[in-house]
Amino acid sequence: MSIAPAEAGYPERFGVTLDCPNDRYVNDEAICRAVAVRLGGVGVRVRVDAQPKAVRFAKLFERRTDFYLLGYLTPTFNSALHFRVLYHSQAGRWGATGYANSTLDQLIEQMDAELVTYARDALIEQAWRIVLDDIVVVPLHRQMIVWAMRDELDLPVSPLNSPTFSQAKLQ
């Protein structure tokens, strides 16, 4: 389905720059170029600015970008850390959106202190509802990294999607 720019509230096309690394994620620049093509189909002119991650991350940390590719994985699979790092008003360098919500900040503080699992889960659920309702970010791509293994090799893969070679064992 395609929407004309006028239907989206922009009778004239508009343009934006997509800041993208070209040496951080699998196919990162290609992903950004594909996003640019898709957005072009709804009347958004996207210029892809692909640079090495050191340059691109500096721009992100200094909040000199509004549209960027960022991969983030919470290695503990714990949403509380995700909220602290990306959505808290004092998130620091990774909270590049500048988003601030005092109710969410209070929930994050509460979940950091809560030891009862079901109570903490309820706080996390409330926090997700706020972030999703406020549309803080628009996820455009979820990258899956596939690992293959041989029967005679035991190689743990960490939650960060990287092999732990020091723990590799031949069977």
Considering its fold, how many domains does the chain have in total?
2
Cα gap 88→147, rounded to integer Å: 33
Distance CA 144, CA 121 (A): 26
pLDDT attached to residue 86: 87
Are residues 109 and 65 part of one domain?
no
- Residue after which a domain boundary falls, among 71, 98, 131: 71
User: What DSSP line would sit under the chain, residue for residue?
Assistant: ----TTTTT-SS-EEEEEEEESSSSTTHHHHHHHHHHHHHTTTEEEEEEEE-HHHHHHHHHTT--SSB------TT--HHHHHHHHTSTT--TT-TT----HHHHHHHHHHHH---HHHHHHHHHHHHHHHHHHT---------------TTEE--B-TTS-B-GGG-EE-
Other Cβ atoms less than 10 A from the Cβ of 25: the count is 19
Task: Verify that 43 and 11 share a domain, yes or no.
Answer: yes
Residues 33 and 52 in one domain: yes
* CB distance 108 to 87 below 8 Å: yes
Q: Which two tokens mark 88?
A: 């808290």
Q: How many residues does the chain have?
A: 171
d(CA 78, CA 126): 15
Say if 29 falls within a structural domain. yes
Tell me whether residue 128 is in a domain.
Answer: yes
Tell me if 166 is assigned to some domain. no
Same domain, 58 and 92: no
Query: Could you state, in chain order, the average pLDDT of each consecutive group of 10 residues for the chain (171 residues)?
Result: 66 86 92 94 92 91 88 77 88 83 96 93 96 88 74 78 79 81
What is the β-pairing status of strands 153-154 and 169-170? antiparallel
Domain identity same for 1 and 47: yes
Instruction: Please tell me whether residues 77 and 109 are part of one structural domain.
Output: yes
pTM: 0.73
Residues 136 and 110 in one domain: yes
- Which range marks the domain in which residue 18 is found? 1-71
